[in-house]
Structure formats: structure tokens, C-alpha cells
Amino acid sequence: MQRIEVNLARNGYIIEVGTGFLTGDGPDRVDFGRWLKGRTCLVITDDNVAPLYSEKLRRRLKDGGAERVELITFPAGEGSKTLATVTGFYGEMVKRGCDRKTLILALGGGVCGDMAGFCAATYMRGVDYIQIPTTLLAQVDSSVGGKTGVDLPEGKNLVGAFKQPLHVWIDVATLSTLPVRELRSGLAEVVKYGVIMDRDFFSFLEQHAEALSALEWPVVNHVVSHCCRLKARVVMEDEEDRSGRRAILNYGHTFGHALEKVGGFARFTHGEAVAVGMMMAAELCVRRDPQRFSSLLNRQENLWQRLNLPRYAEGFDPGQVLAAMRSDKKYENGRTCLVLPRELGCCAVEYDVPESEIVEAIRARCR
């Protein structure tokens, strides 16, 4: 079991990464009891994850001392990530007698964690919650850092709050039940860390791409734990996105969120859109300085191919993608704002990038 500390001024917590403590088919065990005695536990999950793990989690919570365990499910997918869905959670919680001592457990992927966390941040002005991510994307990214929220028709994550979890429990064995496409989505967030923070980690991924795709557990454990350490480091430096340091985690995301929106949240998963968005960001850099950035683009291209990540947004209109980017919350007062590499392993936020350059980078990946 790997333990990663997220040391914050207040509300710090531990991330535990292991194999089998939820699925029951691995060597690791966790102490569920430390927060449960006498409390009502509310498990929020989607209708894909519920049949796989909700009963196993319920038994562990009861064995750990929970007084009562309630379950709320919602339809899986980004389309459920709305205020209407969370409003439904509130109503169910009132009906079931949930109070300020209720502990919410987010069991699922990024959509589940974002909504359950937002519900925890707002129900009765705040209740505790724990993240139990079951997708690779959520394990290496969205479950760590306290960003919660929902989408609006105008764009992704436009309503939300910072709410740190009490704890993050990651059982990598849950990845064995993940559809291939969802696993691929998580791989996009994994490789992002190599580009923005850690060139040695990028090289490790190049050396172990096939083992990672095949879910060889020692490799998976190392990758998930290392990504959590990198994410925790950034969160500790800039917990609430005030200094701009945390913005580097958005590499590829401004392009990616626009692709998701233009595609009606159906053409690409989040990770797939980010994968293409990172290629667009690299294309922009190459167009500015081919000699400096061609190697980075080529290494991204090669690793993306080996991990079967999408590299193009075929059939998309560059003008529509650019228009969608303008509503991204990372734009400030109408100023363009992108995370761009300086070299492999180092990125920076850049403002006022000319839209002419942006649209050409988009066009290069919209063949």
C-alpha cells in the first residue's frame, strides 16, 4: 500500500493506493472504521459502477462501524453532471434523514467524484466526503485536489466549489473492470504529468507503454502513485488556483473542453478530448519554433500511438472549436489563456496567445 500525504494549511488528507481492498481479490486492506462509527454513510455512484462494487463497499462500511449505509445512483456519463442531478441528490438526502454528520462516499469516476464532492460542499453548508475512484482518470487526477462541480449548457465545470476530501482510497484492481475506452481516457491524464512536470516519468511511460496498457499491476501501482504525488505537489503549492501554479494541470484541457462541447459530449470522452488537445497545444508550439519543439511533438505522437490515444479530431470545424474555447473558465476578461510546454517536463501559462495561431493549431489536428 502506497500512502501519499496532501499537506494543506487545513484539511490535509492521505491518499492510499493499493490492490484489492475494495474488490477483495488483492493483498491490501484499509481501515474503514476510523471515520464511520455511529455515522450514516451515503454512497453516491453511477449505474455502471453500482452493480460491480456498491454491495462490496456497503459490507465493508457496515463491518467498519457505520450505523446506516444508503445508496444513490445516477445514469452514467457526462450528461448527468448537472445541477438538476445534484438537486435530486439533495432531495433524496433529506428524505433519507441525512444530517451534517452524514459521510458521503464518491464511488466511481470523475463525474461521480465531481458531483458527490459538490453535493458534500453544499448540502447543509457542508458535510464530509471520501473519494473512492474506480477509473484511471479519477485515480490520477480528479479525485485529488478538492475541485468539485457541475456543467452548464454553456460549458464544463462552470459551477462548483473547492472541497477537500477526508481521504482518498484507490484500489487499482477496479481498473480490471474498466472498458478499454475509459482506460484510454485515463492514460491521457497520466502522460500529461510527464509533459508538464517530469520528463523522466515520460521516459518511464515510453519504456512501459505496453505493460501499462495491459494493466500489469506493479507498473500500474507505480504510475498511479507517482501521478498522485505529482498532483499532490501542485495542490499543496496552489490549493485554490490562486497563484497560477495549479493551472499547469490544464495542459490540453482548454482545447479538450472545447472539443467535448462541439462534439455534444458524445464524440469524445474527457480523456480522449484532452489527448487531442495536448496534440493541438504541441502543434502551436511547433508552429512558433519548429527546431525547439519538433522533438516534443514527435515523442507525444509516438507515445499516443502506442497507447492508442486519439491524435486528431476528424471532421471538426476549427472555427467552432475556437468559439467554444472562448467560454472556457480559464479565459480571463476575454484574454486567451493556454498552458504550453517550454520543454518536455516543463510547462507555463501563457496569456494573449493570438487566435490566429490557435486556430491554425486546431486546424492541424482537424483533418
- The per-residue pLDDT for 22 is 83
Residue 30 has pLDDT above 80, yes or no: no
- Cα–Cα distance measured from residue 103 to residue 288, given in angstroms and rounded to the nearest whole number: 50
The pLDDT assigned to 27 comes to 63
- Highest average pLDDT, of 16-25, 127-136, 320-329, comes from 127-136
pTM of the model: 0.93
- What's residue 28's pLDDT? 62
pLDDT (average), residues 35-54: 95
Task: For the chain, give the percent of residues with pLDDT over 90.
Answer: 85
| Rounded average pLDDT over 339-362 | 96
pLDDT, tens only, 163-205:
999 999 999 999 999 999 999 999 999 999 999 999 999 999 9
Q: What is the pLDDT of residue 155?
A: 82
Is there a contact between 225 and 2 (Cβ–Cβ < 8 Å)? yes
Beta bridge pairs of residue 152: 155
Catalogue all structural domains in the chain, each as residue range(s) with its CATH number. 2-177 (3.40.50.1970), 181-364 (1.20.1090.10)
More confident residue, 9 or 83: 83
